[in-house]
Structure 1
Amino acid sequence: MKTLNIIGAGRLGKTLGRLWQQAGVFQVQSILNRSFDNAKAAEDFIGAGRAVPALKSMEPADFWLIACGDSEIAATADRLADHLGKREGIVAFHCSGALSSQVLEVLRPASIASAHPVHSFADPLRSLDSFTGSSVALEGDSSATAALEEAFTAIGCKTLTIEAQHKSLYHAGSVIACNYLTVLIDLSLHSFAAAGIDRDSALKLLEPIVLQTAQNNMALGPETSLTGPIARGDLETVANQLKNLTSVSPELAHHYRQLGLACVELARRGQLSDESAAKLIELLSEPMR
């Protein structure tokens, strides 16, 4: 079995470590976190490996996962390069969605790659059950991406390859769909709160329609899935909602306007007439100061 060392065993690192360990893909060895206590907690979660206090204490390994924050990857790679020397036959990879494998150039002659799982690691215990079926975007040396494709496939993932120069655009697409969805739900909760509906009730109310909307989009595409007042050109409803939101929270009304304008453009690709679209754009545009 190939060996794996983990630098930065946070929510992502310890989830992957445990899944690979349990599947017999890798034998987890050294685990390094910013604090030894956190490394020890990751060791306990993974059920294998050994927490170490410093990089110099890490054993040799076939694979090195650098799972620290994006801003720390380059500096971590520099320190790791000193530790590895010019050892060959190693695969070093990070899991940043925004950075390419080129940030690991200092680690050559090791094979380098980036492997970004399109998955929310908000709760590692939940991820253990839900990670199967996730997609992973691979980029880097062919030998490294081939080995990582095998490793991720073994724990139930689908993989795709992308070019280094496209990493930022690829990641932006993931951010908009995932992170911004979370923001939209938060904005929705603010609107419900203004209507006197408590948070727990609002979340229970939202759950089935949000999940159904997501399923519709995956099956039918955004143009067919779009419903609501803008999709049907209901100017009166939009105007009334905007008026009431403005009275409660100008900031919430601002977000409603901006999202509404994007919604109009999507609706125009469906059945919204140009005349209705023009009226909605005029209504939703920010008032002149």
Structure 2
Amino acid sequence: MKERVTFIGAGNVAWNLSHALHESGYRIGGISSRKKSSAKKLAAKFKCAFTTDPTHITQNTDIIFITTPDSAINEIVNALCAEKSLNKNQLIVHTSGLLSAKSMNCVKKWGAIPLSMHPAFSFSSPLFKKNEFKGVYFVLEGSSRAVEKGKTIVRNLGAKSIVIAGEMKPLYHLALVFASNLFVGIEDMAVNLLSQCGIEEKDARNLIKPLVEVTEKNILEKGTLKALTGPVEREDIETLKKHLSTLTKYKYAYKKVYTELSKHLVTMVEKKGEVDKKALWLMRKMLSD
């Protein structure tokens, strides 16, 4: 029988992770949430205790997962430490992509072990799918003892792990924001531009779907440099001029995004070699004016 697990936080991450751990043999012993209804709803899935005060359910457990927003983690950890609600050798895990395990250092006073364990995954829904974490990467950070315990949990989930230094957490999280959140923003801009062409939103999403899918496939299989296509890669000065004038006319707010990203694409093209240096200079000048 695997360890007993308690969750503080009952949002999408808690729903998916608790079900995955339960499926892997862990015992879900309690759920805490600021909203009693949220804690009760998730706890009902495992017939376990629920509360709005995490200090009531954290002593008789082996692993505590804190799956709240980052802004609440410090308050929760301080409350657990102040109320003497922790035991020696308990693993205290937060799933923040930004914060390091040091944000929970006070738990060491009680002999507990802090660990940062962030899934590089997007949870837009509480609906859990069987084997959802198979192949997903969890980024671990903490002491060697904490990391080894984290690796065991990750393996049991059928997932993979990577270890990074605590001071690298902000940079790591920023990378994921570029890969996911900002990507969604870019696609929303594309849909908005298509809507200005008179295309319905649903049709716009269907229109860009094959392009998005093949681009993603090429990035994952070939790398970003070989996946790059389009006017910057072709050093097509006239098309860039037309794009900039069109954005000025129809969607000026997007122009800054277009120019800054295109500048980066110019740098990528330069890395590929065998380029027209004059064309690169002209593109950079045009995008900076």
Distance 1:174 1:133, change over 3 A: same
Alignment of 1:159-174 (within 5 A): 159-174=161-176
CA distance in 1, matches of 2:34, 2:277: 56
Structure 2 gaps, min length 5: none
Q: Identify the match of residue 201 of structure 1 among 183, 200, 203.
A: 203
Alignment pair present for 1:278 and 2:281 = yes
Tell me what 1:29 maps to.
29
Tell me what 2:160 maps to.
158
Secondary structure of the structure 1 residue equivalent to 2:127: helix
Tell me what 2:78 maps to.
78
CA distance in 2, matches of 1:126, 1:201: 29
Give the superposition deviation at 1:92. Answer: 0.4
Tell me what 1:121 maps to.
123
CA distance in 2, matches of 1:264, 1:127: 41
Q: Which amino acid aligns with 2:101?
A: S
Tell me what 2:8 maps to.
7
Q: Which amino acid aligns with 1:21?
A: H
Aligned 8 A contact 1:96 1:115 in 2:
yes
CA distance in 2, matches of 1:189, 1:47: 41
Secondary structure of the structure 2 residue equivalent to 1:96: coil
CA distance in 1, matches of 2:66, 2:147: 15
Q: Which amino acid aligns with 1:167?
A: K
Aligned 8 A contact 2:67 2:94 in 1:
yes
Secondary structure of the structure 1 residue equivalent to 2:83: helix
Aligned 8 A contact 1:100 1:114 in 2:
yes
Alignment pair present for 1:111 and 2:113 = yes
Q: Which amino acid aligns with 2:213?
A: L
CA distance in 2, matches of 1:72, 1:183: 26
Q: Which amino acid aligns with 1:192?
A: L
CA distance in 1, matches of 2:153, 2:122: 19
Aligned 8 A contact 2:98 2:170 in 1:
yes
Aligned 8 A contact 1:10 1:42 in 2:
no
Secondary structure of the structure 2 residue equivalent to 1:228: coil
Give the superposition deviation at 1:139. Answer: 0.7
Tell me what 2:267 maps to.
265
Aligned 8 A contact 1:100 1:140 in 2:
yes
CA distance in 2, matches of 1:85, 1:123: 31
Aligned 8 A contact 1:94 1:113 in 2:
yes
CA distance in 1, matches of 2:184, 2:52: 36
CA distance in 1, matches of 2:13, 2:163: 20
Aligned 8 A contact 1:66 1:73 in 2:
yes
Secondary structure of the structure 1 residue equivalent to 2:92: strand
Give the superposition deviation at 1:141. Answer: 2.1
Tell me what 1:50 maps to.
49
Q: Which amino acid aligns with 1:100?
A: S
Alignment identity in percent?
Answer: 25
CA distance in 2, matches of 1:262, 1:224: 15
**Deviation per CA, 1:143-185, whole angstroms, max 9, x where unpaired?**
2221221112112211011111111111111111111111111
Distance 1:126 1:86, change over 3 A: closer
Give the superposition deviation at 1:126. Answer: 5.8
Give the superposition deviation at 1:57. Answer: 2.5
Number of paired residues?
284
Give the superposition deviation at 1:51. Answer: 1.8
Runs of 4+ in 1 over 3 A off after TM superposition: 83-86, 126-130
TM (norm. structure 2) is 0.93
TM (norm. structure 1) is 0.93
**Deviation per CA, 1:264-288, whole angstroms, max 9, x where unpaired?**
1111112542211111112222x4x
CA distance in 2, matches of 1:215, 1:184: 18
Q: Which amino acid aligns with 1:254?
A: K
**Deviation per CA, 1:38-79, whole angstroms, max 9, x where unpaired?**
1112224x4443222322431520001111111111111000
CA distance in 2, matches of 1:127, 1:259: 35
Range moving further from structure 2, 48-57 or 214-223 = 48-57
